[in-house]
């Protein structure tokens, strides 16, 4: 699916996605990554949802977003609260959703000027 935005071109915007990857500002990525509005996409060392650990979220906490939108793949899955304790301690919200919903939600929040991080798992193990 292709997504387009008119007033957010200076920011990192999800412009398309499918089961194997995502496009950020029309550049394709086929690996897990984190995206923030004013920071270029960064690889995120998560091959599968089952590989998530607390260190993955501690890495995200360093950027001090207001909210993290976690894209968990083709279906919505929820992380154990222990894994996101570093974010919770800083009052950073975490919303888990399937990756397509996560991409749409990230674009909406980014368009509203929120300091949001999209943490997107692209399952390379399958």
What is the per-residue pLDDT across 5-52, written as a single tens digit (0 to 9) for each?
Answer: 444 467 999 999 998 999 999 999 999 999 999 999 999 999 999 999
Find the mean pLDDT for residues 119-126.
Answer: 84
Q: What is the CATH number of the domain that holds 62?
A: 3.40.1230.10
Confidence at residue 107, expressed as pLDDT on a 0 to 100 scale:
97
- Asked if residue 54 is part of any domain, the answer here is yes
In order, the DSSP letters of 76-114 are -----TTTTHHHHHTT-EEEEE-HHHHHHHHHHHHHTT-
Find all residues with CB under 8 Å of 89, minimum gap 6, and list them: none
- Asked if residue 125 is part of any domain, the answer here is no
Residue 79: which domain range? 14-120
How many domains, the chain? 1
- Asked if residue 32 is part of any domain, the answer here is yes
Confidence of residue 126 (pLDDT cuts 50, 70, 90): low
């Amino acid at each position: 699916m292709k997504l387009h935005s008119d007033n957010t071109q200076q920011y990192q915007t999800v412009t398309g996605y499918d089961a194997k990857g995502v496009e950020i500002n029309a550049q394709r990525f086929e690996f897990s990554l984190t995206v923030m509005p004013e920071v270029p996409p960064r690889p995120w060392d998560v091959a599968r949802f089952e590989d998530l650990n607390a260190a993955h979220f501690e890495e995200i906490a360093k950027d001090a977003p207001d909210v993290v939108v976690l894209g968990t793949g083709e279906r919505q899955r929820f992380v154990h609260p222990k894994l996101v304790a570093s974010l919770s301690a800083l009052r950073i919200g975490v919303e888990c959703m399937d990756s397509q919903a996560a991409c749409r939600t990230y674009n909406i929040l980014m368009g509203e000027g929120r300091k949001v991080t999209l943490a997107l798992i692209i399952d390379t193990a399958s």
